[in-house]
Amino acid sequence: MENSANSDTISHKGRPVEILLVEDNVGDVILTKKAFKKAKLPNNITVAEDGDKAIQFLRRDDRGNAPMPDIILLDLNLPKKNGQEVLKEIKSDERLKKIPVIVLTSSSAELDVVKSYNLHANSYLVKPVTLDKFVDIVKTLEEFWFSSAILPESVQQGEA
């Protein structure tokens, strides 16, 4: 049964989902891209290999004509600025703080989980090691963030 509010979700906007993947491990980038290729919804993945590049991209220093992401997948273990520093900057920036940030990392340490939520992460997921498990996570993300959750239009259009 479809809720009429679902017409406001990303999946009903008639455009690809814009994803910023902040990840320095090439293998994890490949695994993530493969998993999202199997997703139902068309998507565009932009990769930032370190925390500095992620912030530059989000602040349009390095984005060119790329649209603002609908969602950010953020690793914690990054060169230059680590994931928690990136998360802190995103959530303290009026223009960026509404973008959902999903921490997607190899750490299951309680301290990392608590610190990420204290910095206003929208969710925390531990990276699976197989493509099948990663596809399962992507399906869950897709169902919730792209087909069920309603995001502010300003996030989807990249406006303040």
| pTM of the complete model | 0.87
Q: Residues 102-125, buried b or exposed e (16+ Cβ, 10 A)?
A: bbbbebeeeebbebbeebebbebe
Tell me: domain 4-157, CATH 3.40.1170.60, correct? Answer: no
Alpha-carbon gap, residue 142 to 136, rounded angstroms? 10
Q: Write out pLDDT tens, residues 87-132.
A: 999 999 998 999 999 999 999 999 999 999 999 999 999 998 888 8
C-beta separation of 69 from 88 below 8 A: no
